[in-house]
Amino acid sequence: MIHTQGLTRHFRVEGRTVEAVRGLDIDVEAGELVAFLGPNGAGKSTALRMLTTLLAPTSGTATVAGRDVRADPVGVRRRIGYVGQGHGAGTDQRVRDELRTQGRCQGLGRAQARTRADELIESLELAAVADRVTERLSGGQRRRLDVAMGLIHRPRLLFLDEPSTGLDPHSRANLWDHIARLRAEHGTTIFLTTHYLDEADTVAGRVSVIDHGRVIADGTPDKLKGKVSGDLVTVATDTERAAGLAAEVARRLPTAHGVTVEGAALSLRADRGDAALPELLRALDGAGVRLLTAQVQRPTLDDVFLTLTGRSLREGAE
């Protein structure tokens, strides 16, 4: 459904070249839900804008929904839906009319456009504002309208650029429900960008981690998390001195590695955190270290990024 080779985009900014996307090779098959995950400035939106024909590549090739983005941009646009980061809706139409007009622009018949607009108003919870002029909507309501506009013609391939940014948890859940239904009923292929680690983890069948314009890891969330060396075990003591002593004890345990101390807290990695924790607690008790709290965390996608780059996803690309 999406195939790219060496897709690249440079920008000239104040006499220097910004390599926003550097040689992307992407293959997305029909029916997949793939998330592009990366820090601010990693190149996600630039890649999406090339795939949706809004931006010409500097080099490389891309075939989207069976059409070449350079040779047949109109063919690509006919076959896809796109929800960008900015607002897609105008300002002076009512929500219901905006959706119907969008449906008509996408080639739906009058009756079909009405039915589809009503369905989306219902499922994205826009009923209370359906007769309101779009410029009077709140940020979250406008975002839901943007998403509805991208979905109106039930495209076989849908691009979503940070679809849930600005939505409250309830609206995010509704959005994902709607998308899950769309996939189940129509086999829609979805390619999205997100900052939300939990979202990428739970909704995406596959995650492509992007940094500095390159894909640095690609696979199912579980496969990616398997790259991180073990669970994170953290214990809090009451003083820095106690944490230092705890670290000495922990370093002697065969199951523990990556022992670090920060203030009065100690953390380490273990292949099986649930098994390492009781062992650690017994050893610390034996050494007379007083503990306040203890916890085990499974690796997250942020740990994957940290392992690959030495930075947290929240720190940005620069």
Ligand X SMILES: Nc1ncnc2c1ncn2[C@@H]1O[C@H](COP(=O)(O)OP(=O)(O)OP(=O)(O)O)[C@@H](O)[C@H]1O
Which residues form the interface with ligand X (CB under 6 A)? 11, 13, 18, 20, 38, 40-46
Q: Of 201 and 211, which CB lies nearer to ligand X in the complex structure?
A: 211
Q: Of 41 and 88, which CB lies nearer to ligand X in the complex structure?
A: 41
Single-letter amino acid code for the residue at 243? A
> Residue 47 CB, nearest distance to ligand X (Å)?
7
- C-alpha span between 38 and 20 (Å, rounded): 13
Burial 195-214 (b: 16+ CB within 10 A, else e): bbbebbbebbebbbbbbbbb
Q: Is there a contact between 93 and 149 (Cβ–Cβ < 8 Å)?
A: no
> Residue 22 CB, nearest distance to ligand X (Å)?
10
CB neighbours of 106 closer than 8 A, spacing ≥ 6?
Answer: 152, 153
Q: Of 17 and 220, which CB lies nearer to ligand X in the complex structure?
A: 17
> Residue 231 CB, nearest distance to ligand X (Å)?
29
User: Distance between alpha carbon 15 and the CA centroid of its chain, in Å?
Assistant: 32
> Residue 15 CB, nearest distance to ligand X (Å)?
12
> Residue 154 CB, nearest distance to ligand X (Å)?
26
> Residue 50 CB, nearest distance to ligand X (Å)?
10
Q: Residue 149's closest CA among 204, 104, 214, 208?
A: 104
Q: Of 41 and 73, which CB lies nearer to ligand X in the complex structure?
A: 41
10 - beta bridge partners? 19
Q: Is there a contact between 90 and 133 (Cβ–Cβ < 8 Å)?
A: no
Q: Of 13 and 184, which CB lies nearer to ligand X in the complex structure?
A: 13
Q: Of 38 and 81, which CB lies nearer to ligand X in the complex structure?
A: 38
> Residue 142 CB, nearest distance to ligand X (Å)?
18
- C-alpha span between 114 and 257 (Å, rounded): 60
Q: Of 38 and 60, which CB lies nearer to ligand X in the complex structure?
A: 38
193 - beta bridge partners? 36, 161
Treating both helix axes as pointing N-terminal to C-terminal, what angle do 139-151 and 95-105 enclose, rounded to 10 degrees? Answer: 30
